[in-house]
């Protein structure tokens, strides 16, 4: 019982991939482009049209956006559930701080204010400042 002439599963899989690769890669890019536009649309809905939004994809494949010194990221790819998380660098220690999900501009403002008041992360630099102020 020779196996000659029979194509193995491994071979079939690789051949199929090679055949479909251009199509797969094209649709992946299209999918990505759609998600980028969704992120842009959703973020513009939150912050308004006045600011330039720079959209990108990070090394993990998450969609990111930058508006001035604020950063945004989305992990949810479900169309209706595109949750946007705001991120900033702490103005005092420079640490990357997540502000959590933002739903609208006031929500973002509240979270930024909380950060300034020292509620969003345990900031060593902020603690020191407060001790000095006492
Ligand atoms: Zn800090």
Which residues have CB atoms below 5 A from the ion given as ligand 1?
90, 92-93, 95, 123
Determine the distance separating the centroid of ligand 1 and the alpha carbon of 113, expressed in angstroms: 14
Q: How far apart are the first and last CA of the chain?
A: 88
89/35 Cα distance (integer angstroms)? 25
Could you tell me the pTM of the whole model? 0.73
Write the pLDDT tens digit of every residue in 7-37.
999 999 999 999 999 999 999 899 889 889 9
Q: Say how far apart CA 27 and CA 125 lie, in whole Å.
A: 47
The per-residue pLDDT for range 76-124, each reduced to its tens digit, is 656 666 889 999 988 788 888 999 999 999 999 999 988 877 777 877 7
Measured CA to CA, the distance from residue 40 to residue 46 in angstroms comes to: 10
The domain ranges of the chain are 9-133
User: What separation in Å is there between the alpha carbon of 101 and the centre of ligand 1?
Assistant: 19
- How far is ligand 1, taken at its centre, from the CA of residue 126, in Å? 6
């Amino acid at each position: 019982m020779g196996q000659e002439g029979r194509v193995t599963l491994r071979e079939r899989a690789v051949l199929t991939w090679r055949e479909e690769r251009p199509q797969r890669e094209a649709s992946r890019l299209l999918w990505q482009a759609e998600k980028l536009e969704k992120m842009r649309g959703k973020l513009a809905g939150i912050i308004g049209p006045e600011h330039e939004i720079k959209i990108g994809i990070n090394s993990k494949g998450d969609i990111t956006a930058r508006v001035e010194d604020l950063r945004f990221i989305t992990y949810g790819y479900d169309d209706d559930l595109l949750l946007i998380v705001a991120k900033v660098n702490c103005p005092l220690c420079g640490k990357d701080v997540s502000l959590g999900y933002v739903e609208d501009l006031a929500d973002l403002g509240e979270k930024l204010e909380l950060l300034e008041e020292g509620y969003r992360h345990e900031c060593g630099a902020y603690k020191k400042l407060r001790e000095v102020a006492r």
